[in-house]
Structure 1
Amino acid sequence: MPITALLVGSAFLLFAGGINGLILPVRGTLEGFSNVSLGLLGTGWALGYVAGCIMTSTLVGRVGHIRAFGSLAAIAAVSMLGSAILITPWAWVVLRGLCGFCFAGTAMIVESWLSEQTPAQSRGRVFGVYTMVNLGANTAGYMMLTLGDPSGFFFFALAAIFYCLALVPTALSNTSTPPPMVKVKLNLKALWRNSPVAVFAVFWVGVSNAAFGTLAAVYAQKVGLVLGAVALFTAIPILAGAVIQMPVGLLSDKMDRRKVLVGIASFALLADLAFILLAPEGRMMNLALAALLGGSIFAMYPVIVAHANDHAEPGSAIQISGGLLLTYGIGSIIGPTVAGWAMSEIGLRALFAVTSLSHVMVILYTLWRMTKRQAVAEDGKSSFQPLNAGRTSSLQTVEGSQPDPIEGTRESGATKGPAADP
């Protein structure tokens, strides 16, 4: 199947995911859902996403790539339509978790196909294009909400349509079956021995990023921003994080990555404190602080992965990166729940108290570890790879971003089936 078709299918997925990720908190706020229940939407998504990352390879091994992909895309569409019919917080939490599971699975299948269609020497560049396509589609999904009324059925149906359209490229494919999918087990002891800073930091970054990603729209609505500004408030941080990754990556290649991590976390903390102390209500100040916060929090994850890989044994990069992604997912389960509760009990800007606590923990622990372990020499570092986490990253992204795939990292015992029905 041509790479273009895979990129189109992935763009449909992320476009639907953008609508999905914004319509629920916006509509939930209009329906009067509590901040706790809105935070639980992020927890449900993270639980489903982590489960999807772990279980999809087994599902594909049983029924094949095309059947698994079609089933997951259809269930994701059903979850969106179900959310439009069952407008209750607990139904939405369950359906959001189901959608997270499906989204992880469909993304992994598209990425495994993309990995097979791309020569090893150009795989890093192709996955960079893939990441940018996903980013653009996700942002477009967010911005769609400025074109209609979020209180109706339209956006739920639109997301469901694009989830279904995403299966068309794989359904029409007549090329060879993708290779067996990556299956990485979470081994916290091994991860901790490799790099305590990476494990500790990626957990707290998961807490922070998921809390902000889930509840940013809720904050923006309740602070008084109009719907167009709410969409920008959720989209600008992601765009800022994407733009800043390469300069941050180049800097981290030249100096101790832990110093870079502390610097980024300090900028994030500065934005957190500005939200709390300045209590901005105007559009421009909120958007400027959102850009500063997003550029910081969404640049931390790839630096953490690169730092962990600097200490990794040869041949273990995929296991290390995949384990960190799942650790990030654990933090993502906790962050939205705690932040939602804090916003209900303390006040709207308690969201940034949760994110600031996360960033303080990253700064203090990283500074302490810098006194215990010397920095890796520049010529001993792994190459920095731009990466996204959470909603736009999976174990297949981790594998595809590696410039030289490592033998023996695929799931053992999986076999290829016929091209028409793998």
Structure 2
Amino acid sequence: MLTVLRNSWALLLGMMLLMVGNGIQGTLLGIRGGIEGFSTAQMSYVMAAYFLGFLFGSRMTPEMIRRVGHVRVFAALGSMISAVLVAYAAAPDWIAWMLMRAVIGFSFSGVYITAESWLNNSTTNETRGQALSLYMIMQMIGIIAAQALLNLGDPSGYILFVIPSILVSLAFTPILLSVSPAPPFEATKPLSFIALYRASPLGCVGMFLLGGIFAAQFGMSSVWGTAKGLTVREISIFVAATYAGGLVFQYPIGWASDRIGRRPLILWLSVLGAVAMLWATLFDPGFGGLLVVAVMMGGISNPLYSLLVASTNDFLAVEDMAAASAGLIFINGLGAITGPVITGWVMDRIGPEGYFLFMAILFVALAVYAGWRITQRRVPVADQTGGFTPLSPTASVLAVEAVVEAAAQDTAEEPAAPATPAGAEAGAAAVPEMPGDGAGEAPGARG
């Protein structure tokens, strides 16, 4: 770990400052939108635009890097982020905000891809897993710290927009002055969506549903808090609790998944998430109870993201895992675009409680589908699956691919397991078919 810090401290520090800027603008816009008199529906479009831009950025940045290089893309997108953060306060119009949110989502996606390619290049196979885990921890710390900074100024003024702009500008200084030239960019060609769905229906459906949950949590929390009448301090604590839950519960849930299996854990975590969301919908838990709900939201949804990736990989050959991760991220992005819009629609009709009700419905849908998939095929034995690796929903395809490849390598280096039945895919868990399930299909074709 010390070696990773010594080699990558500038990149890690810069990314933490970037996440402070991103964390402030996401929460601040929801609060400022209420001050400006924007409706919940209008703010839902503003928040959804970020995920639309992020999705386009993930597809277009690799080509930009190939054409002009990492440094120019990194600097250009960073300048765009800094400018948009100030422009929010200068143009308090929801349509302008929607366009700027799309631009900033595009820019952050490109920055993540560029930074993560540098991080991959600065580490060895032995240290890459540690580096990526530390990178994701620094991201979470940056977002949590951002919520504290919201209390340093008046959300109706300029200062809270200027602070993240300055931090983002400063973030690029240590990165651009210390990183070594990155290698030629090579993106993995993703699997077709049909092949990915055949490999793991639960991974695909689950990622789409989870995208809606994430977008509701991280895009609409401050909009909900404003509609609920919470103070700026209370909203910032609520959002910070969500991210803190995601940071703390990744590892214990990952430990459990390697012992009791992915799909049962996905099922029961989804049930627990649905219960928590319904409790917050039907009752008034008070602010203390809301913090418990926030910790559970983040503590369940973040590990679910990692579990769905790991569950999909349990039914894939090792050489297909990196390619599948790109498809899963794209599916998650499609769900994220719809999340804020539907959340805003529900809140417009039944009030702030619609925020939790929408997520409850998605958790129920995920639990039902996971339960049904378990009946269609036996769950892989825990010691026949690959290791769980914590992932962040904000990570780009490059980081997820690197984590997946590192986990696959670690699994391959473990003592050989008993021979699998003939015909089982290389690197996939050998799971007997249930009677009448996928007769004639290759093992691993239905997850």
TM-score, L = length of structure 2: 0.87
Structure 1 segments of 4+ aligned residues over 3 angstroms from their partners: 183-186, 402-407
Which of residues 216, 222, 230 in structure 2 aligns to 1:225? Answer: 230
Q: Provide the residue aligned with 2:439 in structure 1.
A: none
What is the aligned partner in structure 2 of residue 264 from structure 1?
269
In 2, Cα distance between the equivalents of 1:151 and 1:184? 46
Note if 1:47 corresponds to 2:49.
Answer: no
Shift of the 50–102 alpha-carbon distance from structure 1 to 2, 3 Å rule, reads same
* Aligned residues of 2:61 and 2:110 also touching (Cα < 8 A): yes
Separation in 2 of the partners of 1:308 and 1:405? 13
Deviation at residue 212 of structure 1 after TM alignment: 2.1
Within 5 Å, give how 1:73-88 maps onto structure 2.
Answer: 73-88=78-93
Of residues 100, 104, 120, the one that matches 1:95 is: 100
Alignment CA distance shift 1:386-1:234 (3 Å): same
1:347 equivalent in alignment to 2:351? yes
Q: Deviations over 1:79-109 (max 9, x none)?
A: 1122111101111011001000000101111
Matched residue, 2:324: 320
Mapped partners of 2:108, 2:328: distance in 1: 19
Query: Is contact 1:45-1:98 (8 Å) kept?
Result: yes
**Correspondence for 2:400:** 398
Q: Which letter does structure 2 place at the counterpart of 1:364?
A: V
Quote how far apart the aligned CAs of 1:178 are: 3.4
What letter corresponds to residue 191 of structure 1 in structure 2?
A: L
Whole-angstrom CA distance in 2 between matches of 1:130 and 1:307: 23
Measured after TM superposition, the shift of residue 175 of structure 1 is 2.5
Instruction: Work out whether 1:19 is the aligned partner of 2:18.
Output: no
1:303 to 286, 301, 307: 307
Q: Is 1:112–1:179's contact at 8 Å kept on the other side of the alignment? A: no
Label 1:267 to 1:399 Cα distance change in 2 as closer, same or farther (>3 A): same
Aligned residue in 2 for 1:109: 114
Native 8 Å contact 2:117 2:182 kept in 1: no
**Gapped regions of structure 2 (runs ≥ 5):** 1-5, 410-447
Rounded Cα–Cα distance in structure 2 between residues aligned with 1:163 and 1:186: 35
How far the C-alpha of 1:23 sits from its partner, in A, is 1.0
Partner residue in 2 for 1:59: 64
Q: Which of 152, 157, 166 is equivalent to 2:171?
A: 166
Return the structure number with greater relative CO, CA threshold 8 A, min gap 6.
Answer: 1
Q: Give 3-state SS (helix, strand or coil) of 2:351's partner.
A: coil
RMSD: 1.7
> Residues 366-381 of structure 1: matches in 2 within 5 Å?
366-381=370-385
One-letter amino acid of the structure 1 residue matched with residue 336 of structure 2: S
Closer/same/farther in 2, CA of residues 354 and 184 from structure 1, 3 Å limit:
farther
Displacement of 1:368 after TM fit?
0.8
TM-score, normalised with respect to structure 1: 0.92
The residue aligned with 2:295 is 291
Q: How many residues align?
A: 404
Q: 1:69 touches 1:106 (CA, 8 Å); kept in 2? A: yes
Tell me, yes or no, if structure 1 residue 240 matches structure 2 residue 215. no
Q: Unaligned stretches of 5+ in structure 1? A: 408-422
Q: d(CA) in 1 for partners of 2:179 and 2:212?
A: 42
**Which string of whole-angstrom CA distances, capped at 9 and with x for unpartnered residues, describes residues 15-47 of structure 1?**
111111111111111111111111112210100
Structure 1 residue 404 displacement after superposition:
3.6
Contact kept, 8 Å, 1:216 with 1:234, in 2: the verdict is yes
- 1:138-217 correspondence runs (5 A): 138-173=143-178, 175-185=180-190, 187-217=192-222
**8 Å contact kept, 1:124–1:402:** no
1:385 aligns with 389
Please say if 1:37 is aligned against 2:66. Answer: no
Report if the CA contact (8 A) 1:7-1:130 is conserved.
Answer: yes
Question: Secondary structure of 1:371's partner?
Answer: helix
Which residue in the other structure is 2:9 paired with? 4
Deviates most, 155-164 or 230-239? 155-164
Cα separation, 1, equivalents of 2:140 and 2:105: 17
Conserved? CA contact 2:14–2:174, under 8 Å: yes
Say if 1:72 and 1:106, in contact at 8 Å, map to a contact too. Answer: yes
Contact 1:123 1:402 in 2 (8 A): no
Query: 2:158 & 2:191 partners in 1: Cα distance?
Result: 40
Contact 1:54–1:183 at 8 Å: present in 2 too?
Answer: no
Deviation at 1:65, TM superposition (A): 0.4
Q: Please give the alpha-carbon distance, in whole angstroms, between the structure 1 residues aligned to 2:179 and 2:224.
A: 47
Provide the C-alpha distance between the structure 2 equivalents of 1:209 and 1:131, rounded to a whole number of angstroms.
16
1:343 maps to amino acid:
M
Distance in 1, matches of 2:114 and 2:407, equals: 17
| Distance of 1:225 and 1:369 partners within structure 2 | 40
Deviations 1:276-312 (A, max 9, x none): 11033x3212112222222112221001110001011
- Which of 322, 336, 345 aligns to 1:332? It is 336
**1:252: how far off?**
0.9
Based on CA coordinates, which of the two structures has the bigger radius of gyration? 2
Q: How far is the alpha carbon of 1:406 from its aligned partner?
A: 9.0
Moved more, 55-64 or 208-217: 208-217
- What secondary structure is seen at the aligned counterpart in 1 of 2:319? coil
Which deviates the most, 161-170 or 258-267?
A: 161-170
8 Å CA contact 2:204, 2:331 repeated in 1: yes
